[in-house]
Amino acid sequence: MAKEIPLGAKATAEETVEFKHTLTAHHPELPPVYSTPDMIRLMETAASLALHPYLEEGEISVGTQIHVEHRAASGMGAKVRAEAVLESFDGRFYTVRVEARDELQEIGRGTVGRAVVKVSQFLEKLHKRAAS
């Protein structure tokens, strides 16, 4: 399994808010602001990147839980940066503290849970479930 991942391991992910990231893209009557699912996706990306350097060949980390607050709106053109810092490990699951900010303020924060899996075993289990 993965090498020991040190608490405090961190990474960031960034993007500029485009129309496809807005609520309007999902429903035309909603305002053109950064959607919560897109903020969560960016946070998950940062969390994955924080663990990635410590994984063995053939391993990935997968999301297992998410607890976040979306606290402020960001409009199109805003640059959003998510930072992830490994906070704890309980023997199987990693808890990563995440925060998202635009140029002006914090827009979201919380934690995401991740687990390390071997891709081959993961796909084998998936195929067995699909066949039953």
DSSP 10-61: EEEEEEE--GGGBHHHH-TTS-SBB-HHHHHHHHHHHHHHHHGGGPPTTEEE
Q: In this predicted structure, what is the pLDDT of residue 132?
A: 78
For the chain, what percent of residues have pLDDT higher than 90?
A: 85
pLDDT in tens, 24-42: 999 999 999 999 999 999 9
What's the angle, vertex CA 100, arms to CA 118 and CA 56, rounded to 5? 20
- Tally of residues, the chain: 132
Q: What is the pTM of this model?
A: 0.92
Give the pLDDT score at 122: 83
- Which domains, and CATH codes, for the chain? 10-131 (3.10.129.10)
Query: Quick one: pLDDT at residue 3?
Result: 73
Rounded (10°) CA dihedral 69, 74, 80, 82: 0
The dihedral formed by the CA atoms of 34, 35, 38 and 42, expressed in degrees to the nearest 10: 50
Q: What pLDDT was estimated at residue 127?
A: 84
**Below-50 pLDDT ranges, the chain:** none
Residue 69: the pLDDT is 98
Q: Mind telling me the catalytic residues?
A: 36, 44, 70
Percent composition of the chain: helix, strand, coil (DSSP 3-state, to 5): 30, 40, 30
pLDDT score for 1:
59
Identify the pLDDT of residue 89: 96
Q: What's residue 50's pLDDT?
A: 98
Q: Find the helix or strand (DSSP H, E) in which 82 lies.
A: strand 79-89
At 130 the pLDDT is 84
CA angle (132 as vertex; 119, 128 as ends), nearest 5? 15
pLDDT of residue 34: 98
